[in-house]
């Protein structure tokens, strides 16, 4: 594998792993604040980031040595308002800088597997950003967010509010690949 794409996969694995853990911790905080839907949203998105981390990791199956991941991460947990700010900031960074750059390099280097993994994440982060912005608007009004069931594809991380689709719009997986958070 080309070195730059390989390092980008390692960095993205680090970033997704940290995002997943951060959102699990944020879910616990939201639960304590009596914001069950914000907590459920963090749980669902934490699962999606776990899927992304796993997709990137699988592309690195040829590696057999220790490597350092360089990942942008928001530090310092707070109340749900602060945590949603971290979440929106992180998703925005991935959408506007990280994944567009990683995707461009993977395309240039004709690394098809990495390109697919980056594309699934890039598309999904846009869904996450919109859901977190909706939650932030509610929390800023001192309310929990109104949230239907959330479904997450266990292949690509696609995150949908509402019923699971017959086929995943990102990866084409069948309905039974969607994990429900309701």
Residue 52 binds Fe ion (CB under 5 A): yes
Distance CA 94, CA 72 (A): 9
Closer CB to Fe ion, 22 or 128, in the complex: 128
Instruction: Name every residue whose Cβ is closer than 8 Å to that of residue 70 and which is 6 or more positions away in sequence.
Output: 7, 11, 14
Mapping DSSP to helix (H, G, I), strand (E, B) and coil, where does residue 37 land?
A: helix
Residue 173 binds Fe ion (CB under 5 A): yes
| Shortest Å, Cβ 43 to Fe ion | 13
Residues of span 131-160 touching Fe ion by CB under 5 A: 153, 155-156, 158
Instruction: Enter the DSSP assignment of 34.
Output: T
Residue 128 binds Fe ion (CB under 5 A): yes
Which residue's entry shows tokens 């909706």? 134
- Other Cβ atoms closer than 10 A to 43: 19
Residue 57-96 contact track with Fe ion, rule CB under 5 A, x = bound: ----------------------------------x-----
- Strand segments, DSSP code E, in 25-76 are none
Which residue among 49, 55, 59, 111 contacts Fe ion (CB under 5 A)?
Answer: 49
- Name the site residues for Fe ion (rule: CB under 5 A): 16, 49, 52, 91, 121, 125, 128, 153, 155-156, 158, 168, 170-171, 173
């Amino acid at each position: 594998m080309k070195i730059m794409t390989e390092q980008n996969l390692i960095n993205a694995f680090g970033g997704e792993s940290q995002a997943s853990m951060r959102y699990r911790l944020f879910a616990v905080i939201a639960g304590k604040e009596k914001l069950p839907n914000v907590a459920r949203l963090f749980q669902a998105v934490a699962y999606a980031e776990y899927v992304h981390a796993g997709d990137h990791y699988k592309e690195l199956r040829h590696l057999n040595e220790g490597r350092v991941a360089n990942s942008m991460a928001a530090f310092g947990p707070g109340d749900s308002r602060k945590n949603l700010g971290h979440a929106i900031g992180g998703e925005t960074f991935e959408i506007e800088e990280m994944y567009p750059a990683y995707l461009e390099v993977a395309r240039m280097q004709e690394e098809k597997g990495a390109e697919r993994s980056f594309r699934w994440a890039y598309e999904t982060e846009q869904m996450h950003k919109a859901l977190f912005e909706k939650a932030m608007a509610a929390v800023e009004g001192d309310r929990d967010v109104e949230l239907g069931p959330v479904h997450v594809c266990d292949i690509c991380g696609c995150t949908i509010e509402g019923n699971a689709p017959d086929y995943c719009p990102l990866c084409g997986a069948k309905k039974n690949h969607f994990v429900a958070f309701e």
